[in-house]
Chains A and B, each alone.
Chain A
Amino acid sequence: MFEFIHDTKLDWLYGGVLFLLLLSTVIGRILKARHRSDASRTTIDNLNARIRAWWKMAAIFAIAVISGRIGSLVLFAIISFLAMREYITLVPTRRADHRTLFWSFFVIMPLQYYLIGMQQFVLFAIMIPVLACIFIPPSIAVAGDTEHFLERASKIQFGIMVCVYSLSHVPALLSLNIPGFQGHDARLLFYLVIVDQMNDVLQYVWGKLIGKRKIAWRVSPNKTWEGFVGGALSATLIGTALWWATPFTPLQSAEISFMICVLGFSGGITMNAIKRDIGIKDFGVVVEGHGGILDRIDSLCFAAPIFFHLVRYFFVPWHF
């Protein structure tokens, strides 16, 4: 059931990621040895914690990608589950939402990933935005509690759209069947995740270095125009430089990377707004040790579906 992927260009991508991880680990160590003031300490400890998390994420991700379509599908289904779990834990729901939540976790979520596994593109595309989003409000209404009804329905719809529907487009990339690119889809998955994560990191780094003008200080005190522009441009540069691993030309790769960066930023700032509204800093803080998955993937959730449909629209001939 696991078709193992051998692909020289994929190996280069792995090598590149490994190199970046080693480089950042070394930089992290040097910074730690150099700076001893309390203020910079906190920033550097935070950076080193992020680097450790990247190592783990990269390892899990690499194993899943190597094990093929099923491996990626299982990995992203688990991530969806954990993210949705974090989201629902922290977003207030009411007693009457219980059964709808049960359906969301145990029927809608597995069905979505099953449809991707079966390569049912049309069904998979409408499963949550059409079927689930129509199912959720009446199923709450049946429970008989009208208090904050619209809010409750939207909270569940939004959670399942972001944590399940959007994220499920990442493993769906492996079923695209781009002419002349068959068997290399794993590189597309890698490309999306690398550009997206580098954009996160570089926006953070640029923001720390030269960030001044806040974009929306009440939502994200750390997001600045300098960080956004610097991060998006440098991540776009990385994405452009990776064109050889994709079916894109360098120019197309630049455009697509830039789009991933803008969408990644949108995801981050949207989830931040939700966190501020609930009154928490990270989805991980309240339940330490368990949390933080949603904080890591918020940008990916916004970039994945649009990346998927863009590639499908322009690079896969129409077929139903």
Chain B
Amino acid sequence: MSSAHIHPIANLLAAVARLISGVQVQWAGCEPDERQRIYFANHSSHLDFVVLWSALPSEIRAKTRPIAAKDYWEATPLRRYLANNVFHAVFLERGGASKSAHTDEHHFVGRHLMDAMADALGTENSLILFPEGTRGSGEKVGPFRSGLYHLAVRRPDVELVPAYLENLNRILPKGEFFPVPMLSLLTFGKPMCLGQDEDKDAFLERAREAVASLRRIGVA
């Protein structure tokens, strides 16, 4: 699978996502760049990934792959097709064990998964990651799982770009099928990297705060 291949419907899909979400994109901490990056953002809606993906310029988008929950994206033939052929998703198993944040490092961040993510990055790709692991209510950014930390350790050359998606929890909240077309905001923050001697918990908390600090409207 060549990840730089642009599927014919990719641009159309991106346009539809931008239309539904009325997303306004702010590159507050950095500029769009083709260099390898991991975009990590808060997660409150099934639209999060598509909106973030659609907000990237198309040549960057073509090389940017989501880390996606296998159970969701393999559930229907359409989703499976989109995930494999348009988004070039990297699938991740969300087992029962990963439901608890305490046990996640043993099961969720299995070595094979880290290998898969590192492979997906390769030499030219970027990733989109939602380190909360599951959708929240949108009121606050939940604790991050450790995948981002392990990726940062493995690939210190890749920029980690925090992003905040606002109002998508209102456009398509958890448990709803139809969206309500309100306007949303997507803010990209300042790239960060793992500090020297920074331990896992400190790094993950710093990354979480980097995302949360990009929030702009009080309306939730």
Contacts and interface: CB of A to CB of B under 8 A. Distances in A.
Contacts of B220: 92
B24 A88 contact: no
Interface in B170-203: 170, 173, 176, 178-183, 185
Q: What interface size band does chain B fall in? A: 10 to 19
B217 A102 contact: no
A288 B216 CA distance: 12
Interface of B: 22, 24, 137, 167, 170, 173, 176, 178-183, 185, 216-220
A93 interface: yes
Contact of B22 (A93, A98, A287, A288): A287
B182 A88 contact: yes
B183 A89 contact: yes
B24 A95 contact: no
Nearest to A279: B218
A290 B184 CA distance: 10
Given A85-B183, A102-B180, A105-B180, A90 B219 contact: yes
B100 to A, nearest CB: 25
B21 to A, nearest CB: 11
A85 B219 contact: no
A89 B182 CA distance: 5
Nearest to A81: B181
- Chain B interface helix/strand/loop/mixed: loop
A86 interface: yes
A98 B180 contact: yes
A180 interface: no
Contacts of A92: 219-220
B183 A287 contact: yes
B219 A95 contact: no
Contacts of B137: 95
Given A90-B219, A92-B219, A95-B173, A290 B22 contact: yes
Nearest to A86: B183
Contacts of A88: 180, 182
A241 to B, nearest CB: 40
Interface of A: 81, 85-86, 88-90, 92-93, 95, 98-99, 101-102, 105-106, 279, 286-291
Contacts of B180: 88, 98, 101-102, 105
Contacts of B183: 85-86, 89, 287, 290-291
Contacts of B181: 81, 85, 105
B182 A288 contact: no
Most buried by B among A86, A93, A101, A287: A287
A101 B170 CA distance: 10
A93 B24 contact: no
B167 A89 contact: yes
B217 A93 contact: no
Nearest to A87: B182
Contacts of B178: 99, 102, 106
A98 B219 contact: no
Contacts of B185: 287
Contacts of A288: 24
Given A81-B181, A92-B219, A99-B176, 12 more contacts: A85-B22, A88-B182, A90-B219, A92-B220, A93-B170, A95-B137, A98-B173, A98-B176, A102-B180, A279-B218, A286-B217, A287-B24
A290 B24 contact: yes
B182 A85 contact: yes
Most buried by A among B24, B182, B218: B182
A191 to B, nearest CB: 33
A102 B183 CA distance: 14
B183 to A, nearest CB: 4
Contacts of A93: 170
Contacts of A105: 180-181
13 contacts: A85-B181, A86-B183, A88-B182, A89-B183, A92-B220, A93-B170, A99-B176, A101-B180, A102-B180, A286-B217, A287-B183, A289-B24, A290-B24
B17 to A, nearest CB: 15
A223 to B, nearest CB: 26
A81 B180 CA distance: 11
A32 to B, nearest CB: 28
A93 B173 CA distance: 12
Nearest to A93: B170
A98 B175 CA distance: 11
